[in-house]
């Protein structure tokens, strides 16, 4: 028996039928892409190629091309790594954590968010690889291979190695989760296909899925277990990323609050990136009935909550630095706020702590323009957060003679641009060739989300319903 909420808006608006969902989601995949898509892809490819030229040059000549120096040995490379991994967290959060919490609004955004996760993790994984300087030797340092120069194994006590396992597991498991969700939708595309290419391409990708009740039963079970596995996985990934810093002895990094604070920051930036992408996709593909204001407001509330958690974490770090009585810690934090990098610190504070508080106002969190603007501001702030943690902690070494100021070079900037190009190229290809909304899941929540369809239920004569399930006339309000 279903209960219609008097307070909640329907998840899917516009009185859509099942057929409408199929048509609306499949149309952009089947039709020739609009000119705006080609324009967007061109921009992404230009970023990819221009950044790729610098990346190639950097790989050929070495990471001396970057602005790194004796004291600041990690700067934009690891900042970008943590930033991209953090963005990646939203997809798993939406698809796994919200599945466990039975938040049905997730079903219209989970596909694109998971795609974003996978592409963001690809962009993230580039950084630890290239920052090794000679990545072709990386297998000896990162994989448990016997070193050919002597039987020396990788160091399983090192958080850097845990990171290798965490990120690669996260990527592969997310890919599996995403793909299993895509299979039924590929089957829908296969059965609608009118061109030879689509028939073979989606026929191959759909793995022969036929939608039988038995397959769905196992599918549901697999999804639930994967969600249950992905939830601790996603928390472990950013926890381990934070261990890269927290287990060191550098003042400013040596902080026990890092794991929860990094995870909250990851959700914060990830939701902001989902919003940035979905607001564009929604307009271009006309998906206003699927990604409704309700969805946008929900995501803004998550941003508000996690942004506040991050803000509390910043304040706590300061308090603990003072309370610990360790002068090096105290200096590290005072230096963040008022040292040479004060501008980075205050950009971080403004973007991450102050600006999301605007979402307390309903008018702001239900406005597309302010939401879009703030979603970008949040990601700028989160980039600065990682930059502040990494660079301000390193640029004041133990010896004042090693005190330096880090300035990025063109290679720093363009290698970062390369990952943007890669991310958007992958996302635009996804948006063209894959269904951007999980049709099967949206269809599954349609009936109990839309009052119009719900009312249709009354048309079932009670005589058809088995005795036990029969709805009493009084209960149909």
Partner 1 sequence: MESNKHFLVGIFNDHDILISGVKKLRAEGVKIFEVYTPYPVHHLEHALGYKRSKMPVAAFFFGITGTILAILMQTLMLGVDWPMIIGGKPYIAYPDFVPVTFELTVLLASYGMGFTFFITRGLGPGAVPRMFDRRATDDKHVMAIDLSENKKSEDEIKALLESVSAEESYRKDFTDEENNPNFWKFLVDTMTNGVTSSSRQLN
Q: Which of residues 148-167 bind partner 1 (CB under 8 A)?
A: 151-157, 159, 161-162, 165-166
Q: How far is the CB of 95 from partner 1 (least distance, A)?
A: 13
Task: Quote the CA–CA distance of 329 and 174 in Å, as a whole number.
Answer: 38
Q: Which residues within the stretch 230-259 sit at the binding site for partner 1 (CB under 8 A)?
A: 230, 232-233, 236, 240, 243
Separation in Å, CA 244 to CA 1, 221, 262, 273, 416: 51, 35, 12, 24, 21
Nearer residue to partner 1 within complex by CB, 63 or 263: 263
Q: Which of 11, 187, 272, 426 binds partner 1 (CB under 8 A)?
A: 187
Q: Which of 190, 282, 365, 396 binds partner 1 (CB under 8 A)?
A: 190
Q: Which residues within the stretch 195-234 sit at the binding site for partner 1 (CB under 8 A)?
A: 195-196, 199-200, 203-205, 207-222, 225-226, 229-230, 232-233
Q: Which of 45, 122, 129, 180 binds partner 1 (CB under 8 A)?
A: 180
Q: Which residues within the stretch 393-452 sit at the binding site for partner 1 (CB under 8 A)?
A: 439-441, 443-444, 447
Are 450 and 115 in contact, with CB atoms under 8 Å apart? no
Q: Exposed (0-12), middle (13-18) or buried (19+): which is 195, by Cβ within 10 Å?
A: exposed
Q: How far is the CB of 212 from partner 1 (least distance, A)?
A: 5
Judged by CB under 8 A, the stretch of 94-102, 180-188, 303-311, 338-346 that binds partner 1 is 180-188
- Size of the residue set binding partner 1 (CB under 8 A): 78
Q: How far is the CB of 180 from partner 1 (least distance, A)?
A: 6
Chain-centroid distance of CA 206 in Å reads 25
Q: Which residues within the stretch 6-35 sit at the binding site for partner 1 (CB under 8 A)?
A: 17-19, 22
Task: Quote the CA–CA distance of 237 and 265 in Å, as a whole number.
Answer: 13
> Is residue 90 a contact point for partner 1 (CB under 8 A)?
no
Nearer residue to partner 1 within complex by CB, 46 or 465: 465
Are 403 and 396 in contact, with CB atoms under 8 Å apart? yes
Q: Which of 9, 57, 191, 297 binds partner 1 (CB under 8 A)?
A: 191
Nearer residue to partner 1 within complex by CB, 14 or 56: 14
Are 372 and 279 in contact, with CB atoms under 8 Å apart? yes
Q: Which of 469, 472, 473, 475 binds partner 1 (CB under 8 A)?
A: 469
Q: Exposed (0-12), middle (13-18) or buried (19+): which is 413, by Cβ within 10 Å?
A: middle
Q: How far is the CB of 15 from partner 1 (least distance, A)?
A: 15
Judged by CB under 8 A, the stretch of 7-15, 286-294, 297-305, 465-473 that binds partner 1 is 465-473
> Is residue 137 a contact point for partner 1 (CB under 8 A)?
no
Give buried/exposed letters for 10-47 (b at 16+ CB in 10 A, else e). bbbbeebeeeebbebbbebbeeebeeebeebbeebeeb
> Is residue 61 a contact point for partner 1 (CB under 8 A)?
no
> Is residue 139 a contact point for partner 1 (CB under 8 A)?
no
Task: Quote the CA–CA distance of 398 and 395 in Å, as a whole number.
Answer: 10
Nearer residue to partner 1 within complex by CB, 69 or 247: 247
Task: Quote the CA–CA distance of 316 and 21 in Å, as a whole number.
Answer: 47
CB within 8 Å of 406: residues ≥ 6 apart: 67, 68, 69, 72, 75, 391, 394, 395
Nearer residue to partner 1 within complex by CB, 133 or 456: 456
Task: Quote the CA–CA distance of 314 and 257 in Å, as a whole number.
Answer: 10
Task: Quote the CA–CA distance of 311 and 261 in Å, as a whole number.
Answer: 9
């Amino acid at each position: 028996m279903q209960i219609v909420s008097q307070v909640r808006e329907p998840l899917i608006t516009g009185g859509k039928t099942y057929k409408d969902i199929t048509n609306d989601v499949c149309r952009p995949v089947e039709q020739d892409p609009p000119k705006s898509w080609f324009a967007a892809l061109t921009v992404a490819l230009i970023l990819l190629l221009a950044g790729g030229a610098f990346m190639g040059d950097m790989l050929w000549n070495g990471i001396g091309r970057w602005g790194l120096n004796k004291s600041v040995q990690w700067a934009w490379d690891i900042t970008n790594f943590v930033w991209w991994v953090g963005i990646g967290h939203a997809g798993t959060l939406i698809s796994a954590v919200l599945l466990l919490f039975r938040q049905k609004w997730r079903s219209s955004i989970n596909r694109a968010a998971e795609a974003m996760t996978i592409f963001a993790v690809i962009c993230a994984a580039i950084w630890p690889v290239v920052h090794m300087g000679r990545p072709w030797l990386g297998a000896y340092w990162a994989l448990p291979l016997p070193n050919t120069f002597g039987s020396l194994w990788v160091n399983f006590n090192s958080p850097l190695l845990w990171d290798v396992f965490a990120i690669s597991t996260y990527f592969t498991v997310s890919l599996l989760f995403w793909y299993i969700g895509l299979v039924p939708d590929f089957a829908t595309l296969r059965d609608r296909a009118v061109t030879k290419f689509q028939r073979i391409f989606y026929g191959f990708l759909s793995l022969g899925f036929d939608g039988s009740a038995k397959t769905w039963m196992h599918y549901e079970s697999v999804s639930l277990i994967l969600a249950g596995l992905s939830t601790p996985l996603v928390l472990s990934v950013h926890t381990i990323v934070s261990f890269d810093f927290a287990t060191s002895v550098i003042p400013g990094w040596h902080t026990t609050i890092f794991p929860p604070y990094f995870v909250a920051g990851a959700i914060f930036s990830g939701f902001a990136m989902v919003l940035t992408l979905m607001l564009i996709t929604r307009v271009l593909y006309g998906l206003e009935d699927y990604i409704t204001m309700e969805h946008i407001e929900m995501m803004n509330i998550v941003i508000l909550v996690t942004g506040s958690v991050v803000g509390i974490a910043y304040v706590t770090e300061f308090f603990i630095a003072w309370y610990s009585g360790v002068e090096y810690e105290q200096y590290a934090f005072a230096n963040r706020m008022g040292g040479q990098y004060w501008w980075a610190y205050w950009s971080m504070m403004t973007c991450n702590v102050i600006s999301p508080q605007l979402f307390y106002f309903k008018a702001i969190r239900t406005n597309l323009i302010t939401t879009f603007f703030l979603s970008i501001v949040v990601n700028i702030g989160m980039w600065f957060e990682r930059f502040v943690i990494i660079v301000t902690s390193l640029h004041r070494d133990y010896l004042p003679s090693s005190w330096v100021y880090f300035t990025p070079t063109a290679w720093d900037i363009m290698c970062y641009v390369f990952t943007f190009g890669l991310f958007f190229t992958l996302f635009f290809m996804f948006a063209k060739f894959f269904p951007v909304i999980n049709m099967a899941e949206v269809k599954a929540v349609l009936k109990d989300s839309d009052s119009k369809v719900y009312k249709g239920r009354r048309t079932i004569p009670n005589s058809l319903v088995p005795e036990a399930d029969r709805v009493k006339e009084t209960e149909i309000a």
